[in-house]
Copies of this chain bind each other. A is one copy, B any other.
Amino acid sequence: MPDSLTGRRRSVLHETRCQTCSLSSLCLPLALEIQDMDQFDAIIRRRAPLKKGETLFRQDSPFTSVYAVRSGSLKQVTTEGSGDDQLTNFYLPSELVGLDGIDEEHYPGTAVALETTTVCEIPFDRLDHLSESLPELRGQLYRSMSKELREDRRMMRLLSRKTADQRLASFFTGLSDRFRRRGYSPYSFRLSMSRADIGNYLGLAVETVSRILGRFQSQGLVEVSGREVHILDLESLILVAEEEGAR
Complex contacts, A103 vs chain B, CB 8 Å: 142-144, 146-147, 150
Interface string of A192-203 (1 = CB under 8 A from B): 000000000011
Q: Is the CB of B81 within 8 A of A244?
A: yes
If A102-B146, A139-B128 touch, does A78 touch B157 (CB 8 Å cutoff)?
Answer: yes
Q: Which of A117-136 contact B (CB under 8 A)?
A: 128-129, 131-133, 135
If A160-B159, A160-B203, A244-B81 touch, does A99 touch B149 (CB 8 Å cutoff)?
Answer: yes
Q: Is the CB of A100 within 8 A of B153?
A: yes
If A142-B128, A152-B152 touch, does A86 touch B160 (CB 8 Å cutoff)?
Answer: yes
Q: Which of A222-243 contact B (CB under 8 A)?
A: 242
Q: Is the CB of B142 within 8 A of A132?
A: no
Q: How far is the CB of A61 from chain B (nearest CB, A)?
A: 15
Flag whether A88 is at the interface (Cβ < 8 A). Answer: yes
Complex contacts, A132 vs chain B, CB 8 Å: 132-133, 135, 138
In the complex this chain forms, how many copies of it are found?
2
Contact of A159 among B102, B129, B144, B203 (CB under 8 A): B203
- Alpha-carbon gap, A101 to B150, bound state (A): 8
Q: How far is the CB of A217 from chain B (nearest CB, A)?
A: 25
- Alpha-carbon gap, A39 to B203, bound state (A): 46
Complex contacts, A3 vs chain B, CB 8 Å: none
Flag whether A82 is at the interface (Cβ < 8 A). Answer: yes
Q: Is the CB of A84 within 8 A of B146?
A: no
If A102-B143, A202-B160 touch, does A150 touch B108 (CB 8 Å cutoff)?
Answer: yes
- Given A128-B138, A149-B152, A152-B153, output 10 extra A-B contacts at Cβ < 8 Å: A78-B157, A80-B242, A81-B244, A86-B153, A100-B153, A101-B146, A108-B153, A152-B152, A160-B203, A161-B203
Name 17 A/B residue pairs within 8 A (Cβ), A-sorted.
Answer: A81-B242, A84-B245, A86-B160, A88-B153, A88-B156, A100-B150, A102-B143, A103-B146, A104-B147, A128-B142, A132-B135, A138-B138, A149-B152, A152-B155, A152-B156, A156-B156, A156-B159
